[in-house]
Amino acid sequence: MITGGAGFIGSHLVRRMVLRHPEYRIINFDALTYAGNLANLDDVCCRPNYVFVRGDICDMAVVRDTFDRYDIDGVIHLAAESHVDRSIDDPLIFARTNVMGTLTLLEVARRKWAGGSSGCRFHHVSTDEVFGALPAAGGAFDELTRYDPHSPYSASKASSDHFVRAFGDTYGMDTVVTNCTNNYGPYQFPEKLIPLFVNNIRHRRPLPVYGNGENVRDWLFVEDHVQALDKVFHEGRSGESYAIGGRCEVRNIDMVRMLVRLTDAMLGRPAGESESLIRFVTDRAGHDLRYAMDCSKIERELGWKPQTDIEQGLARTVKWYLDNTEWLDDVTSGRYAEYYEKMYGNR
Ligand code: NAD
Ligand code: TYD
């Protein structure tokens, strides 16, 4: 069972697992919130080893029924509320989905696997944001970094990480946790920096850079992340956590300039024309200054490394959004339009 398989990272993971592991039946369990979109999986939805179940991870009866019906023997859990700005607006839904939803899944898995759990694994997909913020220069997070979340989003993810470990320690459940840095690539909802800005450049809308643009993120191409998830699910040591990152630190303002350069070129506009759209706006509350991940453990133990160079990965990503404007228009219209307008329309 892959939870959140209709979202950004989840859809890439479902695609990989369905195509590369025909020996598995992949159950994509997703509530289809604003961030979930079955169109992300158009190319694999007809495969015989793929099943979609629409369900809420907080709904114990539906989760239990799905475990029973499909005899679930492994979970990779991605379903979550995932956007920091939304968590600042509405923290309660983050506690509900990310904490109670994870706990509900764990509890159903524990009961289902009790006594005969050999070979059954619960893999929880988490974020580097649980570790808080690094100073402007020097240092990186790793598996031993103290938890220090600052946003309601990262606090909810930190809590879910703790519950997963607690189920491993208390009930002997086979658990693994991965903490990954910022992902980018096709099918990311255009509320996150990269797809939001590509879409805004396309429409000649302002590009709202929070604060002074000096915040640093460590970027990983989404296909590299799902390759790491596949490795950890199959080869990671039980009870361990694995830090995953791109070894690719970029200041936000530099990322925005790269996006402007690539998008203008692909749209046939004069070089740098869209720089005039950049606006420095009020900073995000509690905005973490810098994230960076030391992913030596997964490199050493599992032989995984990020493969995609940022220039190549960003060029592929920008091209994908510009080639898929129907997808962009679809997810920013209809039932999403009102919220999207409220959050992003006036910037
Ligand atoms: P996303 O917001 O694109 O997708 C989340 C998916 O979860 C959607 O399909 C949504 O419908 C589903 N969902 C939400 N609430 C649900 C519920 N109650 N029941 C069932 N399904 C529900 O998120 P994403 O960016 O793909 O992130 C996936 C996971 O990876 C999250 O757990 C996130 O914390 C983690 N993560 C993301 C990043 C990143 O850069 N995007 C980095 C590290 C870790
Ligand atoms: P985001 O994509 O929301 O990911 P996260 O908050 O999980 O890192 O944001 C990436 C960085 O870009 C973060 O430092 C906040 C910044 N940002 C802006 O400056 N403007 C925006 O409109 C958005 C959405 C993000």
147: helix, strand or coil: coil
Q: What is the pLDDT of residues 281-334, one digit of tens each?
A: 999 999 999 999 999 999 999 999 999 999 999 999 999 999 999 999 999 986
| pLDDT of 335 | 57
> What distance in Å separates the CA atoms of residue 32 and residue 156, rounded to the nearest whole number?
20
Residue 347 clears pLDDT 50, i.e. is over it: no
Residue 190 clears pLDDT 60, i.e. is over it: yes
> What distance in Å separates the CA atoms of residue 293 and residue 310, rounded to the nearest whole number?
16
Give me the residues paired with residue 243 across strands.
179
DSSP classification of residue 220: E
Which of 33, 46, 144 has its CA nearest to residue 78? 33
- Counting ligand 2 atoms within 8 A of each CB, the residue from 193, 250, 293 with the most, and so the one to mutate, is 193
Mean pLDDT of the chain: 95
Residue 172 clears pLDDT 50, i.e. is over it: yes
Percent of the chain with pLDDT over 70: 96
Ligand 2 centroid to Cα of residue 139, in Å, is: 21
| Contact (CB, 8 A) for 94 and 152 | yes
At residue 51 the predicted structure's pLDDT band, cuts being 50, 70 and 90, is very high
Residue 342 clears pLDDT 80, i.e. is over it: no
User: What would the two tokens of residue 23 be?
Assistant: 């020996």
> What distance in Å separates the CA atoms of residue 293 and residue 305, rounded to the nearest whole number?
12
| Residues 176-191, mean pLDDT to the nearest whole number | 98
Percent of the chain with pLDDT over 90: 93
Ligand 1, CB cutoff 6 Å, lining residues: 3-4, 6-10, 30-33, 35-36, 56-58, 78-82, 97, 101, 125, 127, 157, 180, 182-183, 189
* Length of the chain in terms of residues written: 347
At residue 341 the predicted structure's pLDDT band, cuts being 50, 70 and 90, is low
Which residue segments constitute the domains of the chain, with CATH numbers given? 183-220+246-291+309-347 (3.90.25.10)
Nearest atom in ligand 1 to the alpha carbon of residue 157 is 34
Contacts 24+ apart (CB under 8 A), 132-137: 132/288, 133/288, 133/289, 133/290, 133/291, 134/289, 134/290, 134/291, 134/292, 135/289, 135/290, 136/214, 136/216, 136/289, 136/290
| Residues 4-23, mean pLDDT to the nearest whole number | 97
- In the chain the first and final C-alpha atoms are separated, in Å, by 39
